[in-house]
Homo-oligomer: A and B are copies of this chain.
Amino acid sequence: MERGIYITDRDGESYGNFFRSERILYQGRSRYQDILVFDTREAGRVMMLDNIFNVSESMEAFYHEPMAHIPLAMGEGDQEVLIIGGGDFALARQVLKHSFVTGLTLCELDPEILTICRRWFPEWAACESDERLRVRVGDGFDYLDECPEASLDALLIDSTDPYLFESPLISEAFYAKSARALKPGGVMMQIIADFLFYKKTWFEVIPLVAPYFSVLKPLAIPIPFYATGSWGFLLAGKGRTDLDPERVSADYLRSIPGLKTLTPDGVKGWFSLPPYLREEFGDLPGL
């Protein structure tokens, strides 16, 4: 370590990670949350929300590529996509790389996130010029009621780490609304919690989701920006029998410009639960 400002996001855990800030660029409080933007050497520019590491410029692809390209690979033909959260535009940018995406709604609760990210992460916000993108300010939980029934091919939930809060985006009501808005065969992707030290969160979430989705796949994906470096995502399918990683094929991945982290074998590996989890997760629908 060196002299300087070290920033961590731990709250009660006995382990964690930290980054040294080279320069604090913005610190403020919106109606909804504390927002902090700072530059680091290895992680590039970083944003924290309520003192939780949210996004890193140099490592964003590890999170946003799987979050976008795995669920979208599960669909057929033209796709209509909804992002809940994602006000940094980094996920939208990935989704819009696909010509089969005909429409994308980004529903961000906090308008200040949009303003701050346009200023400090302009490379991501540049995708706003894409006319397929509609940005809405509002609560995703409520917005789902406005979505016509069976109108979405993919729903990507890119909110602050849900396991840390009593989040309305982890509730039976939310999953019921999500399933209603999805077409038959549609898919949902959401970050849940790491499998190592927050396994219990998974067993709280699964009973809430399972009534509304026919296939659930827990994926362990390397996220170097977050403590432990491996994070658990839930991919859920409505009214379908499979979510097959083979669909993330070499051809599909070749069609994505500037891809950094995904390979067919790598993705297949993330679908494969290790023995220390397999027994406990063995009863999930579709596993």
Contact = CB atoms under 8 A, between A and B. Distances in A.
Interface centre among A11, A265, A276 (most CB of B within 10 A): A265
Given A1-B11, A20-B15, A227-B17, A197 B262 contact: no
A148 interface: no
Contacts of A12: 1-2
Contacts of A281: none
A4 to B, nearest CB: 8
A150 interface: no
B272 A265 contact: yes
A230 interface: yes
A221 to B, nearest CB: 10
Contacts of A226: 229
A282 interface: no
Given A224-B228, A262-B275, A15 B18 contact: yes
Contact of A19 (B15, B222, B273): B15
A43 interface: yes
Interface string A39-71: 011110000000000000001010000000000
Interface string A232-266: 00000000000000000000010000011111111
16 contacts: A13-B42, A14-B40, A15-B17, A15-B18, A16-B18, A42-B197, A226-B229, A227-B229, A260-B274, A262-B274, A262-B275, A263-B272, A263-B273, A264-B272, A265-B272, A267-B269
